[in-house]
Amino acid sequence: MIYIETGSDDVCYNFGAEYYFAVEKPMPDTVFLFWRTTPTLMVGRYQNVAEEVDKAYADAHHIHIVRRMSGGGTIYTDPGGWQFTFIEEAREEEIRFRQYITPVIRALGELGVEAAFNGRNDLTIGGKKISGNAQYRLGGRVVHHGSLLFCTDLEQMAAATTVDRYKIQSKSIQSVRERVTNIADHLPAPMTAEEFKARIVSHILGPEGKTCPITQEDAARIRTLGQEKFGSWESTYGQSPAFSIQRTGRFPGGSMIFRLEVKRGVIRQAAVSGDFFASVDGDVIAGALTGCRYERAAVEQALERGGIDGAVYRVSVKEMAAAIAD
């Protein structure tokens, strides 16, 4: 096994490193990365950002939103948590989690923490989640990555994510906060996040493992890949599946109902109804929305360009944009 220290808390850089060592610079042995991020929401490959993330909260609290290349659900990460990645030659097409999760369970056991694999993609302690895992194929390699909640801000995690109603009903849970826990709370003796990292990396790497530095050339290419593959609006929002949404705004001048068809992060069709008063038809407001990105700033700009500001009695375009895309 080869351990590579990325030395970065930039999520795009770390995802870029995964891509780089899977596609552009594959190694002769299994690559192991152990890294962390600034406050970040990582959306699964097939998810709709609008349904999974409280974007207004994320923006207000400077939480980065990024789409990863693997499936699964949205996870929150911050400097109090760790991410791990295994990259190796793909020997079969079937997705298998256990072979990559087992070394992590053993490493935690060495620290006195009894963790269990729930059979799908999570690690738990006493039934509470401490790790989510995902996997995908890239350049003939399997990339397996997972999270480890060490001393993560769980209150912020709960506030920034939107829980699917089905999960709440089927698992009889009341909140995100109630079904997760931090590893630090289960250690026999306190340790820092950095000490935890050193112990986990040492255990997984083993006595025969090697370390490989990232050269300046590597780092430059990884930064480029990180921005190209993960850092753009298109990579995060433009990859959302098509969806329909109805948003209602209640204003001093009346209520407005916005029915939208969104594809690849862009409003393709819109209809506006309600008991509001306006000097323009609802179709004019809908026309101004059509073709703009489904995000608050873009919606506000589109309404301004369409001449809607001042056209609706006691409703500003800023208020409309907040109702539509917050």
The tokens for 316 are: 């500003």
Predicted pLDDT at 165: 42
> 260 exposed, middle or buried (CB, 10 Å; 0-12, 13-18, 19+)?
buried
Distances (CA, A) of 156 to 41, 123, 176: 11, 21, 10
> Which tokens in the block code for residue 255?
């209520």
Q: What are phi and psi of 241, to 5 degrees?
A: -65, 160
> Distance of CA 290 to CAs 206, 259, 272, 300, Å?
57, 11, 12, 12
| CB 260 within 8 Å of CB 245 | yes
Q: 251 has which bridge partners?
A: 254
For 134, phi then psi, to 5°, come to -145, 165
Mean of pLDDT values over 113-132: 93
The predicted model gives 238-242 an average pLDDT of: 89
- Spatial separation of the C-alpha atoms in residues 313 and 276, rounded to whole Å: 7
- Give this prediction's pTM: 0.86
% of residues, the chain, pLDDT over 70: 95
Please check the confidence at residue 74 and state whether its pLDDT lies above 70: yes
Dist CA 96 CA 111 (whole Å): 25
Asked if 286 contacts 320 with a C-beta cutoff of 8 angstroms, the reply is no
| Mean of per-residue pLDDT scores for the chain | 92
Note the pLDDT tens digit of each residue in 180-214.
999 999 999 999 999 999 999 999 999 999 999 99
Q: What pLDDT was estimated at residue 162?
A: 63
What pLDDT score does 159 carry? 87
β-pair type (122-125, 81-89): unpaired
Residues 162-175: pLDDT tens digits? 644 444 333 333 45
Domains and CATH numbers, the chain: 2-236 (3.30.930.10), 243-325 (3.30.390.50)
- Let me know: does 20 contact 220? Beta carbons within 8 Å: no
Concatenated DSSP letters for 256-320?
A: EEEEEEEETTEEEEEEEEES--BSS-HHHHHHHHTTSBSSHHHHHHHHHHTT-TTTBTT--HHHH
| Pair 241, 46: CB distance under 8 Å | yes
Q: What DSSP letter does each residue of 209-257 carry, written as one string? A: -EE-PPPHHHHHHHHHHHHHHHSSHHHHTTTSPPEEEEEEEEETTEEEE
What is the SS3 assignment for 39? coil
Mean pLDDT for 239-255 is 91
User: What is the three-class DSSP state of 148?
Assistant: strand
Pairwise pLDDT comparison (178 vs 4), residue with the higher score: 4
| pLDDT, average across residues 98-108 | 95
